Structure 1
Amino acid sequence: MGDRRARPRIVILGSGFAGLACARALGGKSADVTLVDRNNYHLFVPLLYQVATAALSPADIAEPIRKIVRRHRNIDVVLGEVVGIDVPARHVALAGGRRLAFDRLVLATGSAYNYFGHDAWAVHAPGLKTIDNARQIRTRILKGFELAELTDDPAKQAALMTTIVVGAGPTGVEVAGAVAELARYTLARDFRRIDPRRARVLLVEAGPRMLTAFPDDLVAYARQRLDRLGVEVMLDHKVEGIRAEGAVVEGHLIRAQTVIWGAGVRASPAAQWLGVEADRAGRIPVTPDLSVPGLPGIYVLGDTASTPDAHGQPLPGLAQVAEQQGQHLGKALAREIETGAPLPPFQFRNRGNTAIIGRNAAIFDFGRGRHLRGFAAWLLWAIVHVYLLVAFDKRLIVTFQWLWRYLTYQRGARLITGDGAGEGTP
């Protein structure tokens, strides 16, 4: 097998779409790869909103990292949280004092929601980045209906059955549509003293347009479908405060049981670890081969990277961008190690931008004027997302869950869990 000490040590930080794709591309190659993540599982974030709205369980969209890479003997998995990087010494510092030496370093540490200087709002308005976030949101929504059933006060009932979604991008639209469907279809026949169909779902957007990345005709269709579901779309409405009892929108307090944040993201603190300058969103500018200028052997992928497209604009923080970058870099590093070939520039191949609005309704934008909407787009959305799940058993489970939900309107993950699940009176 040769001298293992001569093999390059590649450390990959983050097991999201980019980091995992890069590691898998390096599987079985002439390098010792260490994949580091604070969680022991890979999470399929695009379907996390379905956990939050009781359509799927967390285990349906998460897979243990060790299971995914176990056939590659050259990949080691480390459960840990990064606290710093010593670039001159070429090592990564983890919480608890452990250090990992590297010859090449790949940062794919993702992003978190940006509260634009109001981080305290996160307590009352969680985003959708983690399983804990999704469980918290699910508990708040379902608990609201349970508490509404216990009170005779119409104003309290209305507030307990109100959900505010902040941000009208794809995540906000998908969440708003899913919450409306949960109330109007799944819960409609399950309560005796309240009518869940009277629940309010508000989609609040500070800008003049929802789904800014999509063309006008698809945006108009999405708005029509949201209206049909009863979602109240509030454009040009700025959220000025978020508190336990709801959100302050344009100076007016809207009382709500649940507030969900989807109004923007910021990159992980990777730029601080490296001591380099980041853009306004915290992303690290990279060269065409995805390396950091002036730092040889260090690469940045996914939401952490500011990667220019053909027009010089940063590529969007989409799963397909991250996965393509990871595959590209992993294959390029393998070739460089084995043949000495220089790393080629990354070229993004747009496979379409999509958002689901509700049952039988989705939009797909393939670029260059090619669009798809309605049932065909909804079916394509489902096929693509099932295909992208990393494990075959997860594909079967999610397909069965969706089919059952489609036929019965039922959602089997309606569990109220977590802190305060059994507390409270109306």
Structure 2
Amino acid sequence: MSDPGNKNGIHINADQAGQDRIPPRIVVVGGGFAGLEVAKALGKVDIGVTILDRHNHHLFQPLLYQVATAALSAPDIAEPIRKILSRYRSVQVIFGDVVAIQTSSRQLLLADGSAVPFDLLVLATGSRPSYFGRDDWATVAPGLKSIEDARTIRSRLLLAFEHAERTSDPAEQRRLMTIAIIGGGPTGVELAGSIAELSRYTLARDFRNIQPEKTRILLIEASDRPLPGFAPELSEYALRRLRRLGVEVMTGRRVDAIEPHQVSIAGDLIPVGLTLWAAGVSASPLAAQLGVELERGGRVKVAPDHQVVGCPGIFALGDVALFIDESGNPLPGLAQVAKQQGIHLGRALANQIQNGEELPSFVYKSRGNTAIVGRHAAVFETGRLKLKGWFAWVAWAMIHVYLLVGFQHRVQVSIQWLWRYLTYERGARLIAEERDAPLR
């Protein structure tokens, strides 16, 4: 029977004699920062929890752009979920793809036809690229949310140079060596800076018939400045650094159309060899399965304790949740937000189950917002503190190394960054099997 004294809407079952409490079946969907922290917090106190993901690995998404631009390899930023949670004997890991959430019968339906029951559900499934109703653009302008996305971008990027090397047509060479990046937020800025360094420093030594250092890189942003979420002076610094790298920053202009060989920007047709999408994201489509009204970006509104409004016992964390802070502002979709939410909810659920405590409200403590603009250049902002240049780059590196899961990854990535800093070399320049990319 349910616990009538529970004000949070969480039900803890009891046996027929009413003596022993039976812990609820807790299921976490998503092995990202938020989901892992919930599982670890419950596992530390030996509370049973099942974590379910359609990938067998945890992915450090903030460094995906470095995989896409051949600076790191995929194993450098990914770790098997089972390995991460192996020390917690009460945590079960299921490799599977959730296709439906049945809130009435309290079960998840998987793609293989099986079902996973739950009493408490934590939805931490992240986000995906949003093309603002033009999903047909996805095939010619890939976003960056998974290892597969990063490998696709890396292959298409390197193939553009390979095809340019083989053609004797100067116009075709220029087209193939023109790269358009849609979106001037942190992902777009980091992609632009990294591709500029790849072409101007690393690839410049490798080709004979083309000059990769003359690659034309376009960064297209609809607002009036890159990094619109940062202070204006930091955006101005990023703009100067990008232009110093040769990146053409086009602000105040929107995309009209994206085709395999060209993009239309505010009516201007620009021949391109590759288009990348960094203009927006939307919540995982699983959010719609809850049957509640979706907010902007497909997110579900959550209460201060992270329960989905209108769905007792169902929680949402990270990019899939719309959490309004004490100032009335939605929390950004950052790794540090998801990590803090997961730690908070995991500990709160443990105290609820073990001691009957009410779930406390979550309070986010910002560790700062940062973006890298290129070699030893970055911007960092937290409260009144604003850094740019080398000091901001060090802060960026420290934050990202700290957030990486696994000591060996922190060491590997640190060594590779140091080597790349000294030599400009990038060793992950591998082309995957996708050879029919829309380049020629």
TM-score (norm 1): 0.96
Aligned residues: 422
Secondary structure in structure 2 of the residue aligned to 1:188:
helix
Q: How does 1:133-148 map to 2 (within 5 A)?
A: 133-148=149-164
State the partner residue of 1:104. 120
State the partner residue of 1:150. 166
Q: How does 1:348-387 map to 2 (within 5 A)?
A: 348-367=364-383, 369-387=384-402
Secondary structure in structure 2 of the residue aligned to 1:344:
coil
Separation in 2, partners of 1:424, 1:294: 45
Shift of 1:316: 0.7
User: Residue 317 of structure 2 is aligned with which of 271, 285, 301?
Assistant: 301
Separation in 2, partners of 1:425, 1:65: 36
Shift of 1:247: 1.2
1:274 matched to 2:290 = yes
Worse-superposed segment, 381-390 or 408-417? 381-390
Residues 258-310 of structure 1, C-alpha deviations (whole Å, 9 max, x = no match):
11101011111233211100112111001100101232211000000000022
Secondary structure in structure 1 of the residue aligned to 2:164:
helix
User: Residue 27 of structure 1 is aligned with which of 40, 43, 61?
Assistant: 43
User: Residue 237 of structure 1 is aligned with which of 253, 259, 265?
Assistant: 253
Residues 26, 48 of structure 2: 8 Å contact kept: yes
AA of the residue aligned to 2:203? L
Shift of 1:93: 1.1
Secondary structure in structure 1 of the residue aligned to 2:313:
strand
Residues 286, 293 of structure 1: 8 Å contact kept: yes
Shift of 1:424: 9.6
Unaligned runs of 5+ in 1: none
Separation in 1, partners of 2:33, 2:86: 17
State the partner residue of 1:14. 30
Secondary structure in structure 1 of the residue aligned to 2:352:
helix
Residues 335, 341 of structure 1: 8 Å contact kept: yes
Residues 147-197 of structure 1, C-alpha deviations (whole Å, 9 max, x = no match):
111112111111111111000001000000000010001111111111111
User: Residue 283 of structure 1 is aligned with which of 294, 299, 304?
Assistant: 299
Separation in 1, partners of 2:238, 2:302: 35
Worse-superposed segment, 178-187 or 308-317? 308-317
Q: CA RMSD, aligned part only?
A: 1.5
Shift of 1:22: 1.1
Shift of 1:425: 9.5
Unaligned runs of 5+ in 2: 1-14
1:265 matched to 2:281 = yes
1:225 matched to 2:247 = no
Secondary structure in structure 1 of the residue aligned to 2:223:
coil
User: Residue 214 of structure 2 is aligned with which of 198, 209, 229?
Assistant: 198
State the partner residue of 1:37. 53
State the partner residue of 1:255. 271
Secondary structure in structure 1 of the residue aligned to 2:44:
coil
Residues 224-259 of structure 1, C-alpha deviations (whole Å, 9 max, x = no match):
100100000000111111111021111222111111
1:91 matched to 2:107 = yes
Residues 160, 439 of structure 2: 8 Å contact kept: no
1:419 matched to 2:396 = no
AA of the residue aligned to 1:413? A
Residues 18, 301 of structure 1: 8 Å contact kept: yes
AA of the residue aligned to 2:269? L
1:129 matched to 2:145 = yes
Separation in 2, partners of 1:419, 1:174: 24
AA of the residue aligned to 2:378? A
Secondary structure in structure 1 of the residue aligned to 2:279:
coil
TM-score (norm 2): 0.93
Residues 135, 418 of structure 1: 8 Å contact kept: no
Q: 1:424 to 1:201 in 2, by over 3 A?
A: closer
1:207 matched to 2:202 = no
AA of the residue aligned to 1:292? V
Secondary structure in structure 1 of the residue aligned to 2:204:
coil
Separation in 2, partners of 1:46, 1:411: 18
1:403 matched to 2:410 = no
Q: 1:299 to 1:166 in 2, by over 3 A?
A: same
Secondary structure in structure 1 of the residue aligned to 2:34:
helix
